[in-house]
Amino acid sequence: MLSLGASIGLFGGSFDPFHNGHLEIVEAAVKAFPSDKILLMPVGQPPHKSRRLSFSTFRVETARLATEHLPQVIVSKREILSPGRNYTVDTIESLLQEYPGIKIKLISGSDFLFTVEEWSRYEKLMSLASFAIALRGDADLGESKQQADYLQKRYNAAIEFFPMKSTTVSATQVREILWAGASASQLLPENVDNLVKLYRPYSYKKVIEDIDESSWQKLNSIERRLFEYLGTERRLHTVSTCLLALELAAIHNVPALEAGTAALLHDLAKELSGGEQLAYSNDCLNIEERNPVLCHGPAAAYLAEEQFEVRSEDVLNAIQYHTTGRPGMSTLEKIIFLADKIEYGRPFKDLDEIRKLAFAEGLTASDKKIYLDRAVCRCYEEVFAALDRSGHEICPLSKEAYNILK
């Protein structure tokens, strides 16, 4: 929580992912400015990057995990939640408006000094905040101080330097290693490495690149709105489900936007109270089940239509029946049913066989359909076994769907 008159260090970036180089600069800033709160600001929609960023949920969580040992550090979702492209000067203006009297110190590497005149409204930026520049050893000290003198004289910029350990780690380097399927453990904080290994967000590079720009922007907009509805663990599951659904959609010839939308919204109602879920599910047309354990699916379909303006009947059905499935499922419904249960964050055993069937590598279109149905059947069998062990009843819709497909 920020307080009036506080001094705030602001360190922004894509954090895709947050790596040891980022951590070095944050720890150095904490040491150099012990009385300041340090605000980490993952960007929502950057103004200049042409590369597609990972979903915001992963980037925010890597920043949080990497710095959770530093009580001085706060990870902010301000830019994630703001609509449109994010400009640092706008973020600073909104912070100053919300917290009058705070002093903001923009934390950056020395490259900032040489590029600041390319930033949006850079003269206004230099009038609103001071600048704390991290120097990686003595190599860039001379040129950096010369450039700082120029900015101070021309724009009256307030600039100070602080030391940090020399590092050559870059997010590009980390991503290239992960895209190649190798380990980047030496370049990542341990808990970030664990997250990346569990959810494998960087294994979907080709799937993401093949999505048209309009669809990708729409999916990112939906994902950013999920911060208002779901906590961290549920969002991690949701975006992991989305990535797997996008991969399955590419394999089984389903539009990426439909698969991604259904996956992102499938658990939209999961964290509402039981009463709210039941009320929303009662309003969902053609509802088959009144089981309180299952009504979050119909409730999510209702919210998807009312609050996210989803009009596709196939997408709404995929959301509504993602837990149980139903007789006569479309290909999209099967994909969402599977992706929800076999995304890489799931702790269940025996998922590799189901994934292998669903991926149907190297098969013809007709064979892919057969293997997708087999994957759904194997998934049902695992679900039925788990329900039997826990003493819960099997949903009649699931039984009927399984009997038709097997």
Q: What are phi and psi of 195, to 5 degrees?
A: -65, -45
pLDDT of 147-176, one tens digit each?
999 999 999 999 999 988 888 889 999 999
Task: Show the domains of the chain with their CATH numbers.
Answer: 7-174 (3.40.50.620), 210-405 (1.10.3210.10)
Is residue 220 very low, low, confident or very high in pLDDT (cuts 50, 70, 90)? very high
pLDDT of residue 35: 83
How many of the other CB atoms lie within 10 Å of CB of 86? Answer: 20
Q: Token pair for residue 127?
A: 């009038």
318-343 CB burial, b ≥16 within 10 A, e <16: bbbbbbbbbeebbbbbbbbbbbbbbb
pLDDT of residue 406: 84
pLDDT exceeds 60 at position 219? yes
CA dist 57 and 240 (Å) reads 10
368-394 CB burial, b ≥16 within 10 A, e <16: bbebbbbbbbbbbebbeeeeeeeeeee
pLDDT exceeds 60 at position 57? yes
pLDDT of 282-328, one tens digit each?
766 444 555 667 889 999 999 999 999 999 999 999 999 999 999 99
**Average pLDDT value for the chain:** 92
- The contacts of residue 143 (CB under 8 Å, 6+ apart) are none
| Global model pTM greater than 0.85 | yes
pLDDT of residue 234: 97
Strand 159-164's sheet: what is its strand order? 73-75, 37-42, 7-13, 103-109, 130-136, 159-164
CA dist 386 and 169 (Å) reads 44
Q: Token pair for residue 296?
A: 């979050």
pLDDT of residue 137: 61
Instruction: Give me the percent of the chain exceeding a pLDDT of 90.
Output: 76
What's the average model confidence in pLDDT over 123-128? 95
Q: For the chain, give the longest Cα–Cα distance.
A: 78
pLDDT exceeds 60 at position 233? yes
pLDDT of residue 165: 84
